[in-house]
Amino acid sequence: MKYRIAVWAAAGLLIASGWAVYFSVTSKGLIDPIVSALLRFTCPVAIVGLHYPVSLYLALVANVATYALVGLAVETLRRQVAHSN
């Protein structure tokens, strides 16, 4: 189970890193609504970033922690469902 949670956390790191690369390459102007919605869904710390300045490192750490917690919840539920069958 620890391995699976680590995979979830690594996915969070890759997603946040991908967004960092995307925004460093594209212009800083107006963001399309679809991109903005996808960003907020896959990187929840971006919602905080609308109101407060968030550094890249803090965004990476927050996204890793968020995905690790989601992974913990999903893997715990998956285990309970597997044991009940």
* Token representation of residue 58: 């803090």
Beta strands in 1-85 (DSSP E): none
The pLDDT value recorded for residue 2 is 87
Q: How far apart are the C-alpha atoms of 81 and 11, rounded to whole Å?
A: 24
- Residue 38 lies in domain: 2-84
- Confidence band (pLDDT; 50, 70, 90) for 82? confident
How many domains does one find in the chain? 1
Q: What percent of the chain has pLDDT over 90?
A: 61
pLDDT of residue 49 exceeding 80: yes
CA 31 to chain CA centroid, Å, is 19
Q: How far apart are CA 11 and CA 67, in angstroms?
A: 7
Over residues 57-78, the pLDDT tens digits come to 999 999 999 999 999 999 999 9
- pLDDT bin (cut points 50, 70, 90) of residue 1 is confident
